Structure 1
Amino acid sequence: MELNHLDLINRRGIVTGAGQGIGRALALEFGQRGGHLLLVGRQLSTLTETARLVASLGGTTEILVEDLTQLGAVERIAHAVASWSSLDLLVNNAGNVRAGRLDLTADADVHSMIGLNLTAPILLTKTLLPRLRQSGKERGSILLNVSSGIALVGMPFYAVYAATKSGISQFGESLRRELIGTGVHVATVYPGATDTAMMTSQNAGSDLGWGRSSLADVITELIAALEAGAHEINTAPESRRAMQQLNITDPLAVDAALEPNLEALELAVRDHRSI
């Protein structure tokens, strides 16, 4: 697919999960490029801090405290930007994770991951797509979905999370093809394990295949790829990319490589919860 340079200057758009981690970092990137952003998240305190940081870089923001899984959340977000003259950016970043053996996973945790990681971004995109298409005709618009490296290599004890992130990946791929020629640039990013607050309760290290990248490195690579017009953006370290390639050519070899450390990995990740 031919790549076309994307202009990230003066974007007007929405960032979900903007209170911390990758969402906050992306808000800062668009903010320092003159963006006007609606910051969406669950906690006023973290959103307020993101807004302060964006303002210090020259951007402007509005804040909406919202749980995207609640009834009417998508409509409230759409209403918050209804008066804007244009909407040319949507970053579907909000997500949560609960790790552990599937048979020990609470039904509520299954519904929580599916609701926030998959259902919410699909419904939000569906609702805002007419406006993104309109802006696409004028200057081009950007839809950025944050998936995960786990969508490329399904890891044990993350079955539901992997399902949601694989789902958002295929959602993006299908929608990209649906929107060819409309001016809506659909991109999906696949971060590997990243040193953010989301990972503080996860205790697996590089010895178990969970070496972490710095947030700064992930964002630098993501923004450079987006500016270059990439649609599929993989920010995983080289060691993980080798496993991703092996998973394509010989997936059972990945099974065999993971098997000796399954018990240790379960112990290291069983308390991994982001919300």
Structure 2
Amino acid sequence: MNLANKRILITGGSSGIGLALARAFLARGARVVVTGRRPDVLATAVAELRETGGDVLGVAADIGAAEGRATTLREALAHLGGLDILVNNAGGVRAGRLEDVPERDLQAMIDVDLLAPILLTRAALPELRASGEATVVNIASGIALVGAPFYATYAAVKAGLARFGESLRRELKGEGVHVLTAYPGGTDTPMMKSNRAGPELGFSREPASDVAEAIVAGVEAGAFEVIRGGETRAKMIALNREDPAAVDERFLGLKPALEEAVKDHSAL
């Protein structure tokens, strides 16, 4: 896909991977709308993006709510005149033992990380079909491929998002809409600030710009998925498939330190 003049909507685009994606798409001549829940942070991000001279609009809305999704799509279409690429990037996380995570936080992850992308994609499908060459990008997580302790619900919703994308890709095959799923590993974003786990616990971090460039390259190539983490991640995925008990044992040795390091990891 040639991205010049493509009309792109990125949810959660005011920081982290979403903001890095906006930069990367704009650099290729695309037109971009980014959303965010915090108007001040969104305004700062849009001002920075506009310094490049690109066509960008910010929409302050909570895509976890029906009204926010409606506002997002309405304002994006009014500005862009249609839609070629939808990036479902907005999300939240709350780590910790399942019985210690408040129910409201569990519900928030389900609503924002899984239900909202499904419903926003559903609402956007007529415009995406009208494009004739459209792509939905779902930002899942490496944890969707190898579940980690203390992230049970986050792993569940991100894995659900991944399978949603796979199924929808097959449903839309031949209809002019492609679906790509991205699996970032640890990424240096505001969402990770309260996570104190380091490489020794499996949380190496790479710049958001590197993740964004890989995803954009995947969109251009029509890839099915983009998995970050290199050879180390690939080996862990293979081991989890071939000998999951070995992965269980590996995490058993890390559990005390990992629980302490992620107990305050919250970005909702």
Contact 1:222-1:235 at 8 Å conserved across structures: no
Q: Which residue of structure 2 lines up, in the alignment, with residue 108 of structure 1?
A: 104
Offset from partner CA, 1:39-88 (integer Å, 9 cap, x none): 11111122222222322223112221111122422222222134343211
Using the TM superposition, name which of 73-82 and 249-258 deviates more: 73-82
Q: Distance in 2 between matches of 1:152 and 1:54?
A: 32
Q: Which residue of structure 1 lines up, in the alignment, with residue 186 of structure 2?
A: 193
Q: Which residue of 57, 65, 75 corresponds with 2:70?
A: 75
Contact 1:34-1:58 at 8 Å conserved across structures: no
Q: Which residue of structure 1 lines up, in the alignment, with residue 148 of structure 2?
A: 155
Q: Distance in 1 between matches of 2:125 and 2:209?
A: 30
Using the TM superposition, name which of 83-92 and 144-153 deviates more: 83-92
Using the TM superposition, name which of 163-172 and 237-246 deviates more: 237-246
Give the residue type in structure 2 aligned to 1:116.
V
Q: Which residue of structure 1 lines up, in the alignment, with residue 29 of structure 2?
A: 34
Q: Does 1:274 align with 2:229?
A: no
Offset from partner CA, 1:165-202 (integer Å, 9 cap, x none): 00100010000000111111210100001111111100
Contact 2:135-2:219 at 8 Å conserved across structures: no
Contact 2:9-2:85 at 8 Å conserved across structures: yes
Q: For residues 191-270 of structure 1, what are the structure 2 equivalents within 5 Å?
A: 191-270=184-263
Q: Does 1:96 align with 2:96?
A: no
Question: Shift of residue 222 of structure 1?
Answer: 2.1
Offset from partner CA, 1:129-169 (integer Å, 9 cap, x none): 01101102xxx112111000000000000000000100100
Q: Distance in 1 between matches of 2:20 and 2:112?
A: 20
Question: Shift of residue 244 of structure 1?
Answer: 1.0
Contact 2:86-2:136 at 8 Å conserved across structures: yes
Contact 2:63-2:72 at 8 Å conserved across structures: no
Q: Distance in 2 between matches of 1:182 and 1:202?
A: 41
Q: Distance in 2 between matches of 1:263 and 1:25?
A: 34
TM-score normalized with structure 1 length: 0.93
Q: Distance in 2 between matches of 1:217 and 1:20?
A: 14
Q: The residue matched to 1:81 in structure 2 has which SS? A: helix
CA RMSD for the aligned pairs? 1.3
Q: Which runs of 4+ in 1 moved over 4 A?
A: none
Q: The residue matched to 1:144 in structure 2 has which SS? A: strand
Unaligned runs of 5+ in 2: none
Question: Shift of residue 227 of structure 1?
Answer: 1.7
Question: Shift of residue 221 of structure 1?
Answer: 2.2
Instruction: Give the % identical residues.
Output: 45
Q: For residues 56-67 of structure 1, what are the structure 2 equivalents within 5 Å?
A: 56-67=51-62
TM-score normalized with structure 2 length: 0.96
Q: Distance in 2 between matches of 1:127 and 1:216?
A: 29
Unaligned runs of 5+ in 1: 1-5
Question: Shift of residue 36 of structure 1?
Answer: 2.1
Q: Which residue of structure 2 lines up, in the alignment, with residue 3 of structure 1?
A: none
Offset from partner CA, 1:184-240 (integer Å, 9 cap, x none): 121010000111111110011111111112223222222222222211111123222
Q: 1:51 to 1:257 in 2, by over 3 A?
A: same
Q: Does 1:142 align with 2:135?
A: yes
Q: The residue matched to 1:201 in structure 2 has which SS? A: coil
Q: How many residues align?
A: 267
Give the residue type in structure 1 aligned to 2:259.
E
Q: Distance in 2 between matches of 1:110 and 1:14?
A: 26
Contact 2:77-2:83 at 8 Å conserved across structures: no
